[in-house]
Structure 1
Amino acid sequence: MNSNAVKAILPASLLLMCGLCSCTQEKTMAKSEGIVTTSRMLNPIAPPGMYIADPEARVMPDGRLYVYGSRDESPENWCSRSYNVLSTSDMVHWEADQCSFATDGPGKQTDYTDRILYAPDCIYHNGKYYLYYCLAGELADDEGVAVGDSPYGPFRDGRVIKGALGIDPSVFIDDDGQGYLFWGQGSAKGAKLSKDMLSLDGEIHDRIVTYKEHAFNEGSSVRKRNGIYYFIYPGHQRHGQSNCATLNYATSDSVFGPYTYRGVIIDNLKSGNAVENNHGSIVEFNGRWYIFYHRPTHASSTMRKACVEPIHFNEDGTIQEVEMTTQGVGGPIDPRIRMDAARACEMEGNVRVVVRRPDNDIPVEYLAEIRDGDYACWRYFDFNAATVRRFICKTWDKSLAGIVEIRLDAPDGELIGTCDVKPMAGETAYAIHETDVRPITGKHALFLVFRGKHAEDTGKSLMNLEWFRFGE
């Protein structure tokens, strides 16, 4: 992609403050049946208009958690020529810093290439921060490293790591201080790092985790817990060779293996209608473990957004599989809080997340191209937080005559109300729709199923949904 296509999406540092953005929510006023809703960040964690994929999460010496990932900027191409950094002190409020490292444009730190940057990783060691990056294509200089004085970057003087041919580097430092680098596609490779963390030191180990034995595709990520090495990676075994939607893991008592396949941690298959891959990592933060992963948008396998879910270890060290949610790291969501439709964690049909960029306003993501029979899901809502009796939603731009079925827990689950969407030819920019709903209690996934009213509208776009909320 031409570097002129790289555009600034947000200010250089964007702080998402509680109360200023619908991705945070205030504490509920009620507590019942053990369900407690508190302020938290919802999935996805990146702000509207910013697409960060392949998230490697790291807790740095300042106590904050940082997420390093590739940055998507086009539905037609993977990644871009620069990286952004997300960070948080509480998993609620996230900051985004742009252009921490680049091969072209602002922040360029490679005098030998302007190639597209694939997934990175970053780690702290002996007072410095080491960013490991990789380049699109298959040449002799696939992997590189740049060094910074801060976890935010900037990372300077990118240089080639000779001998590391392949994609998606992951760095790991063992308990004795020895550093390791892992990379590869189809077959994971790894080697010790030199004391200065800038080059490989000694033998390259091949076939550490493989496609045949572990359903390994790419995206190595290594962690250690209670003496067990965990190799996290996207896998093919559940959905076939053309789709590595699962994040798998394998374990070993040695950093270079042999590794034993253990299972799936999370599966992003239903997060959109063009899912092709997943990529992420696990991390312990403030005494709790999490998995970071991504979901695609724009009906494309790119334009991906980082998300996070809590995970749980069994006594034997195995990890329980978790589902994708909208609530993310917190408890169920107060239904009275306005929910951005683009935060759907499951979609079926033609529906997809896209972004609208008003000339003088912030980017807005919404559900677009909705057709008859499509549905979207948001997990989970706490309907004990208040007795809700109304459903309100906003559609954007033109609409055909349609109905939104409001259902619980499944696309054919309990129907608690229907909302009419009147046709609109563009006489206003948007429309607000309201309907009564039956009062309910408990924790539920919310499914919105979209129906057209006229047979001649089959196959046509019915509406674009920007947000919804429940009222008392």
Structure 2
Amino acid sequence: MTVKMKSWITGLTLAALSLAPSAGAQQKLKAAVADDIFADHPSMDKNATVMPAADAKPVAPVFSERPIGDASVARLTGGGWILTGTQLRSGARHGVELWTSADGKAWKGLGPAKISGAGIVPGDVSERYLAPSVTVAGDKLYLAFSDKTGCARIATGSAAQPGAGFAASPCLVEDASDVALFVDKDGTGYLLWGGGTIAKLHPGFAKLAEAPRFLKPDQALFAKHPPVGKDWPVRTRVGMRGAAMVRDGDRYILAASEVTGRMRTATEDLFVAEAPTPYGPFTMRALAVPHAGRGSLVMLDDERLAAVYNPKCDDGFAMFCEQVGLVPLERAPDGRLRQAASVITEDSAVAARKALITSETMRDPSVTLGGDGFYYLVGTLDGYGYHKPDGGVKLWRSADLKKWDEVGFVWKWEGMGYDFGKNIAELWAPEIMWSARDKTYYLAFSVMEKGVGGKTWLYRSTTGKADGPYENVTKSFFVKGIDGFPFEDDDGLYFLWGGGSIGKLNGARSGFEGPVHTLVDADGDHVGYEGNGLIKANGVYFLTGAEWHGPLRTHGTYDMMYGTSKSLFGPYTQRRMGAPHGGHGTAFRDKQGRYWYTMFGNDPTAPWRMQFGLVPIDIGDAASIGIPRSDSVRD
């Protein structure tokens, strides 16, 4: 039986599962695109790991009696729960400590389990067991652990009397870590350790019944090469540590965790793969629960599955650390397991926010506060950009940053002075800016020409109104490269593009006055490889840009980075994270003096994908851009 899409409540007060979005809600792809890396881009809803519902709630601890890591949870046969894990800092740290709960709220500590066996001295404080796991099968309660010599062992006790004694097996495997036990429905036991090594056990679980083997995705799934520019999917493993297995109907689910560098911090995420047998062939690995910590799954009954959420404190975006929660899982439309829509697992203001325009897709959003007191918005439309001669640059207007009214197209492939021939030309990254000096609006946009590359144009409103009409400031494209950004400083107008190129515009705004500079950080690196923008606050320049972290275009994050300088041309401070999932956007100041960053969602763990939204930011301190904590999902 598979995991069902229905609401449920357990003794651990888990949130209800929510239905995945219908196929009709998925973003469409045009038959031909300027870059085939978009053929299976992470910004598509079908690739989402996170799809929070409107009423989604943060995952909450169900166990906080003491700091614990590598948590393992099991359901007792007669009802109630049992939990163990690596004991951290305070209190006793030897043996395998157990806690039980009848309702998932109040926990009773049983102390270190009474384990006996060859080489084990009961009560010996030198017996430091890391990452023990607990398994219930019938009337038996099993503890799997690696002893102080590094030997994997299984201790057998009574599920009805978890506080009674356990008899430990001899050494099953030497030099093992993250030991777990999986017992199939027919009573066959399998020992797992590390990131995915498995071996069947003899009845009684006192020795291995076969040579160990390592579980990994079916290599036949990698016969088709991914497009150039897209990261190679991981083919050699499901995860790096904490391998665990459960059975869901006729499918075997292998879970393991890995730190990938997503969000530019130590996010340890839970990955899963599935197979018709304990040995495979396994699917490609899928990111199931961000920030979950060491991999562990628990079947609540024959139909309901949850992941243990037990992050380390190294993860700056986890909801909590060294406590234990449970995250309900659901099936995506393609059958892939992921966290349920009812729960939020990331602690950031970004994770809790919602898209503001959902009527159509949008990427690379740009907002400016106009001279008339209204806010104006443009962005990349029609999925991954209109193809010439379709569409153009469309404008929205708002008085309060909440309600946005569509004004319509303000530019449609006119006055470009350039012949694309029969090449596919895709319209990207329009940017709008009100110039108080010139008392008019500027519109920059890029066109990616397949097989040729990108070019950027600069247009100016001839009426001083945001809806134009707009005229080209020169006879053709303005610069080679993409992501143009007009910026007004005290001494004139500048144009920023590419990965940090900048030049001062001449009086006619038709070219550059003086040399073109390249903006870099203190290490000589770009602040963002694309989507650069500038804002000035209290005499300090903030240079923003987009960067991928972790597995690019698979399970990575598309984040907004920034650096600061008291000089426009820098050098800028070493680049830092500004807004997770923010990527290519625009920072701006509103009428009340608050700062915002535009966001569209470009990765599978963003709270939405390819729609316009706003993220509040703190800006003005020469040292940092930050997300206001008052907007955290904790509050």
State the TM-score, normalizing by the size of structure 1: 0.52
The residue aligned with 1:438 is: none
Which of 215, 235, 248 is equivalent to 2:258? Answer: 235
The residue aligned with 1:162 is: 171
The residue aligned with 2:201 is: 193
The residue aligned with 1:183 is: 193
Aligned positions of 1:14-413 closer than 5 A: 43-47=60-64, 50-73=66-89, 80-89=93-102, 91=104, 93-101=105-113, 110=122, 114-125=126-137, 127-135=139-147, 139=149, 141-150=150-159, 153-154=162-163, 156-157=165-166, 159-165=168-174, 166-185=176-195, 188-197=196-205, 199-209=206-216, 213-236=236-259, 239=262, 245-268=268-291, 278-285=294-301, 287-297=303-313, 304-314=322-332, 317-321=335-339, 325=343, 345-346=346-347
Equivalent residues of 1:110, 1:159 under 8 A apart? no
State the distance in 1 between where 2:265 and 2:59 align.
30
Larger Rg: 2
Equivalent residues of 1:309, 1:324 under 8 A apart? no
1:172 to 1:320, Cα distance in 2 relative to 1, 3 A: same
State the distance in 2 between where 1:291 and 1:135 align.
26
1:317 to 1:240, Cα distance in 2 relative to 1, 3 A: same
Equivalent residues of 2:113, 2:166 under 8 A apart? no
State the distance in 2 between where 1:201 and 1:299 align.
36
1:126 to 1:66, Cα distance in 2 relative to 1, 3 A: closer
1:42 to 1:86, Cα distance in 2 relative to 1, 3 A: farther
The residue aligned with 1:430 is: none
SS across alignment from 1:144: strand
State the distance in 1 between where 2:325 and 2:589 align.
28
Equivalent residues of 1:171, 1:181 under 8 A apart? yes
State the distance in 2 between where 1:287 and 1:278 align.
23
Shift of residue 258, structure 1, vs aligned partner: 3.3
**Deviations 1:332-377 (CA, angstroms, capped at 9, x unpaired):** xxxxxxxxxxxxx425xxxxxxxxxxxxxxxxxxxxxxxxxxxx68
SS across alignment from 1:97: strand
1:169 partner letter: V
Shift of residue 216, structure 1, vs aligned partner: 2.3
**Deviations 1:373-430 (CA, angstroms, capped at 9, x unpaired):** xxx688599xxxxxxxxxxxxxxxxxxxxxxxxxxx9999999x99xxxxxxxxxxxx
1:109 to 1:305, Cα distance in 2 relative to 1, 3 A: farther
State the distance in 2 between where 1:256 and 1:183 align.
14
Equivalent residues of 2:142, 2:154 under 8 A apart? yes
State the distance in 2 between where 1:220 and 1:119 align.
11
State the distance in 2 between where 1:287 and 1:86 align.
25
Equivalent residues of 2:245, 2:255 under 8 A apart? yes
State the distance in 2 between where 1:241 and 1:157 align.
43
Equivalent residues of 2:297, 2:308 under 8 A apart? yes
Shift of residue 282, structure 1, vs aligned partner: 3.9
1:226 partner letter: G
State the distance in 1 between where 2:266 and 2:172 align.
29
Shift of residue 234, structure 1, vs aligned partner: 0.6
Shift of residue 213, structure 1, vs aligned partner: 1.5
1:241 to 1:283, Cα distance in 2 relative to 1, 3 A: farther
Equivalent residues of 1:56, 1:120 under 8 A apart? yes
State the distance in 2 between where 1:294 and 1:414 align.
38
**Deviations 1:47-103 (CA, angstroms, capped at 9, x unpaired):** 2x61222232322211223333222227xxxx9324444545555x24242424278
1:193 to 1:380, Cα distance in 2 relative to 1, 3 A: farther
The residue aligned with 1:13 is: none
State the distance in 2 between where 1:278 and 1:144 align.
19
State the distance in 1 between where 2:241 and 2:213 align.
13
SS across alignment from 1:195: coil
State the distance in 2 between where 1:24 and 1:318 align.
21
1:194 partner letter: H
SS across alignment from 1:312: strand
2:347 partner letter: E
User: How many residues in Structure 1 have an aligned counterpart in Structure 2?
Assistant: 314
What's the Cα RMSD here?
Answer: 5.2
Shift of residue 172, structure 1, vs aligned partner: 1.4
